[in-house]
Chains A and B, each alone.
Chain A
């Protein structure tokens, strides 16, 4: 049984904590103290505007799209039950769960969670919600809409949720169909399960229009000019008194990479312009350092992992020797060199960026062998598998508009050519790729970046037969058991060991050819205080307690 409250400060994912009213009070008033109980030196200042590279979403309804363009915008205006800890002392790549709207929560048994909401949380003062108080009914409404509405690409997150019940005005009870240790991670996901107001849905039919952006978050929606900019203004009645400090947030939609960079170099935006937030390209670092010498930089690995999948249910990929050969043909260091200036991390099946769950690369065991660049050995394996002269196949991908991806694919094809495997590249438009290859409907091989999830389940679930993202059509009963067990194991340490074991197994079976990931460089104006960069779409959460020191 675990109990947590909103002032959870420990570094480990779950810890038993003494519940206490004192800590709660301190967190609710005064300058927001985050990090390891250490108050920040400088005094926060109110005011100022933060300009960053924003995105124009197709619409603003979090239940009808999974697009980051929507989620990033909503991270400023909406709250979830739980969120990820943010701040300069948070190690990028770690995602400790803290309460957002939840005052405290407890797991009463394997399948039941009870949440106590903070009191006095007000919706934004906008019609038709008009600053009324948030209650458990809002949570119930949100979860029911999330699970029942047609066309919710994220619905699978709550696949194990059975029912949501209102216990009293500030208490919600979730009952699952079966144990799911990742339930809380899903709740903290930015921003799929942000809490929405019934009145907005009733009045407008759905939450797509900008008028429907009504949340309980630190900023309120101000203006939206499609493909130009989206602006947010400070919420004067935010439930954490004193926050936020920054008065205006402006997300400017830049189409062109050259224009973005020029804008950043000349100070038209305050943070790096590249996805997923505040990043700069390594190739540009030299010029940026030259023109804006006082910037602050933070480097951390990217959780975007590109891999090549192959139809294990078809010849010749069913033979593990063929898969291992394909993996060994690749010179991952060369690909890293060409696409990320040689700076990056090798990826186990869970990207190395997610250090809390990724098995340390050198502990990958037997699987490590198949990641080494060894064309001679690869040819031998192919011969042993009955293909002494190689074979021909096809590979489907979409460019994502990324020169790096194009180069990575071209290089991989060249490496496979070197061991006798002729790969014909079929480039598909974005939507076509998503409807086919991304969901395993490719003819033979596919290649592409995977969804940059912040939890391990996303990366493990795709090995279950029947899962849409099981691009290689893996059907490994032993692995399936392992993965399903992981979802049920309540003990943190045991679960982590199982997660590592699963990765080792996957690596040894060479189900995918995983490519290394580059290392992001987050670049920030040094006058921005109390801000910590991290992966994920929670821009608002990271910005919430930051202030301008000028």
Chain B
């Protein structure tokens, strides 16, 4: 692999802005973002809706996710049931709303854990260099040689299925790829003068990594985390299809699509269409937002291949 393309330090574009009130600054930035990157802004709106659905499911959903509405089996979208009902007479709209909870939980937990590990690995690797760096990079290389489904299924075969194990297994993979990018970003920051200056002043390694490096790679982390979220959601739905996803009773979009959605595809296509649309829309949103953020924070990152820069 070409180890020679490295990112420059991400431009910390907010560093020189005038000291207006925090909220106002944020709103101005958001407005500018929306104008410059309409697709990214659209993505942000969709994600906001997702988070709201997940947080306030009880208020948004008209029915409980396991409530069986009498006499309303396999009803197409229409009066009383915005997205129709399924074969167990449950309201699909409610299940989509509650399903957002699973989507958000699994994806955010995975990305959080994965990037936490990746940050620790990436920053230390890029900072200390030397044999430690080489060894770590070989381990990361090793993990990246596994096609994700192959290693995830194998891990789940050994650990057993269930939400926690799915999150743990996916985190490891996320960590491998993300650590690469974070390492590159760290390498760029370390070259900067003020890190050397800090060391000359006697600052300890930990302090330097936390106070000087971490803030400067945060933008990178946010970008790859956002893009990664989309991939995790697709991965969870693929696992559901294969029977290793999040088990019931909580509805998961992947399980709805690959389970009874597929069984009743001919008779009640809406059972599959809505979770499918939900998944695609949210993945699309994360991708768009991630792309936009990447363009904004560091145009140089545009050259990377889907999040993996060596």
Q: Do A and B originate from a single complex?
A: yes
Query: Which A residues touch B265, using CB under 8 A?
Result: 258
Complex CA distance for A413 and B248, rounded to whole angstroms:
11
Q: Kindly provide the distance from the CB of A202 to the nearest chain B CB, expressed in whole angstroms.
A: 37
Interface string of A270-289 (1 = CB under 8 A from B): 00000000000101101100
Q: Scan residues 134-190 of chain B and give those whose CB is less than 8 A from a CB of chain A.
A: 160-162
B264 adjacent to chain A (CB < 8 Å): yes
Quick check: A429 and B160 within 8 Å, CB to CB? Answer: yes
Quick check: A411 and B68 within 8 Å, CB to CB? Answer: yes
Q: Kindly provide the distance from the CB of B252 to the nearest chain A CB, expressed in whole angstroms.
A: 12
**8 closest pairs, A vs B, by CB?**
A338-B88, A287-B266, A427-B247, A403-B260, A403-B259, A283-B267, A414-B66, A407-B88
Q: Scan residues 52-71 of chain B and give those whose CB is less than 8 A from a CB of chain A.
A: 66, 68
Q: Kindly provide the distance from the CB of B111 to the nearest chain A CB, expressed in whole angstroms.
A: 25
Q: Kindly provide the distance from the CB of B69 to the nearest chain A CB, expressed in whole angstroms.
A: 11
A334 adjacent to chain B (CB < 8 Å): yes
When C-beta atoms are compared, the residue in chain A nearest to B266 turns out to be A287
Name the one of A334, A401, A403, A406 contacting B68, with C-beta atoms under 8 angstroms.
A334
B206 adjacent to chain A (CB < 8 Å): no
When C-beta atoms are compared, the residue in chain B nearest to A428 turns out to be B160
Q: Kindly provide the distance from the CB of A100 to the nearest chain B CB, expressed in whole angstroms.
A: 38
A496 adjacent to chain B (CB < 8 Å): no
A166 adjacent to chain B (CB < 8 Å): no
Quick check: A283 and B264 within 8 Å, CB to CB? Answer: yes
Counting chain B residues whose Cβ lies within 8 A of the other chain, the interface size class is 20 to 34
Query: Which B residues touch A200, using CB under 8 A?
Result: none
Q: What 13 new A-B contacts, CB under 8 Å, besides A337-B89, A407-B88, A411-B88?
A: A283-B263, A284-B266, A286-B266, A286-B267, A337-B73, A338-B88, A401-B243, A407-B87, A410-B66, A410-B249, A427-B161, A429-B160, A429-B161
Query: Which B residues touch A461, using CB under 8 A?
Result: none
Most buried by A among B68, B249, B266: B266
Complex CA distance for A409 and B66, rounded to whole angstroms:
12
Quick check: A425 and B248 within 8 Å, CB to CB? Answer: yes
Q: Kindly provide the distance from the CB of B221 to the nearest chain A CB, expressed in whole angstroms.
A: 35
List 18 A-B residue pairs with CB atoms under 8 Å apart, sorted by A's residue number. A257-B263, A283-B266, A284-B266, A286-B266, A286-B267, A287-B266, A287-B267, A338-B88, A339-B87, A410-B66, A410-B88, A410-B249, A414-B66, A414-B68, A425-B249, A427-B161, A427-B247, A427-B248
Most buried by B among A258, A286, A414: A414
A485 adjacent to chain B (CB < 8 Å): no
Query: Which B residues touch A69, using CB under 8 A?
Result: none
Query: Which A residues touch B160, using CB under 8 A?
Result: 429
Complex CA distance for A427 and B156, rounded to whole angstroms:
14
Quick check: A338 and B243 within 8 Å, CB to CB? Answer: no
When C-beta atoms are compared, the residue in chain A nearest to B262 turns out to be A258
Q: Kindly provide the distance from the CB of A290 to the nearest chain B CB, expressed in whole angstroms.
A: 10
Interfacial residues, chain B to chain A (CB-CB below 8 A): 66, 68, 73, 87-89, 160-162, 243, 247-249, 259-260, 262-267
Q: How many pairs, one residue from A and one from B, have CB atoms within 8 Å of each other in the complex?
A: 55
Q: Kindly provide the distance from the CB of A411 to the nearest chain B CB, expressed in whole angstroms.
A: 6
A399 adjacent to chain B (CB < 8 Å): yes
Interface string of A219-263 (1 = CB under 8 A from B): 000000000000000000000000000000000000001100000
Quick check: A399 and B243 within 8 Å, CB to CB? Answer: yes
Q: Kindly provide the distance from the CB of A102 to the nearest chain B CB, expressed in whole angstroms.
A: 44
Query: Which B residues touch A286, using CB under 8 A?
Result: 266-267
Q: Scan residues 391-417 of chain A and give those whose CB is less than 8 A from a CB of chain B.
A: 399, 401, 403, 406-407, 409-411, 413-414
Query: Which B residues touch A339, using CB under 8 A?
Result: 87
When C-beta atoms are compared, the residue in chain B nearest to A404 turns out to be B263
Q: Kindly provide the distance from the CB of A404 to the nearest chain B CB, expressed in whole angstroms.
A: 8
Query: Which B residues touch A334, using CB under 8 A?
Result: 68, 89
Query: Which B residues touch A411, using CB under 8 A?
Result: 68, 88
When C-beta atoms are compared, the residue in chain A nearest to B268 turns out to be A283
Quick check: B260 and A407 within 8 Å, CB to CB? Answer: yes
When C-beta atoms are compared, the residue in chain A nearest to B73 turns out to be A337
Complex CA distance for A425 and B250, rounded to whole angstroms:
12
Quick check: B66 and A403 within 8 Å, CB to CB? Answer: no
Query: Which A residues touch B262, using CB under 8 A?
Result: 257-258
Quick check: A338 and B89 within 8 Å, CB to CB? Answer: yes
Complex CA distance for A425 and B267, rounded to whole angstroms:
29
Given contacts A338-B89, A414-B66, contact A406 B248 (CB under 8 A): yes
Complex CA distance for A286 and B262, rounded to whole angstroms:
16
When C-beta atoms are compared, the residue in chain B nearest to A426 turns out to be B247
Complex CA distance for A169 and B200, rounded to whole angstroms:
101
Q: Kindly provide the distance from the CB of A433 to the nearest chain B CB, expressed in whole angstroms.
A: 12
Complex CA distance for A338 and B243, rounded to whole angstroms:
21
Name the one of A281, A399, A427 contacting B263, with C-beta atoms under 8 angstroms.
A281
Query: Which B residues touch A281, using CB under 8 A?
Result: 263
Name the one of B73, B243, B248, B263 contacting A410, with C-beta atoms under 8 angstroms.
B248
Q: Kindly provide the distance from the CB of A505 to the nearest chain B CB, expressed in whole angstroms.
A: 33
Query: Which B residues touch A406, using CB under 8 A?
Result: 248, 259
Complex CA distance for A155 and B249, rounded to whole angstroms:
39
Interface string of A418-430 (1 = CB under 8 A from B): 0000000101010
When C-beta atoms are compared, the residue in chain B nearest to A427 turns out to be B247
Query: Which B residues touch A287, using CB under 8 A?
Result: 266-267
Given contacts A403-B263, A410-B249, A413-B249, contact A338 B66 (CB under 8 A): no
Query: Which A residues touch B66, using CB under 8 A?
Result: 410, 414
When C-beta atoms are compared, the residue in chain A nearest to B157 turns out to be A429
Quick check: A338 and B73 within 8 Å, CB to CB? Answer: yes
Complex CA distance for A413 and B64, rounded to whole angstroms:
14
Interface string of A95-122 (1 = CB under 8 A from B): 0000000000000000000000000000
Query: Which A residues touch B248, using CB under 8 A?
Result: 406, 409-410, 425, 427
Q: Kindly provide the distance from the CB of B28 to the nearest chain A CB, expressed in whole angstroms.
A: 49
Complex CA distance for A399 and B162, rounded to whole angstroms:
13
Complex CA distance for A150 and B125, rounded to whole angstroms:
56
Query: Which A residues touch B73, using CB under 8 A?
Result: 337-338
Q: Kindly provide the distance from the CB of A301 to the nearest chain B CB, expressed in whole angstroms.
A: 20
Q: Kindly provide the distance from the CB of B263 to the nearest chain A CB, expressed in whole angstroms.
A: 5
When C-beta atoms are compared, the residue in chain B nearest to A408 turns out to be B88
Most buried by A among B66, B88, B162, B248: B88
Q: Kindly provide the distance from the CB of A273 to the nearest chain B CB, expressed in whole angstroms.
A: 14
Query: Which A residues touch B264, using CB under 8 A?
Result: 283
Query: Which B residues touch A403, using CB under 8 A?
Result: 259-260, 263
Q: Kindly provide the distance from the CB of A173 to the nearest chain B CB, expressed in whole angstroms.
A: 50
When C-beta atoms are compared, the residue in chain B nearest to A430 turns out to be B243
When C-beta atoms are compared, the residue in chain A nearest to B241 turns out to be A256
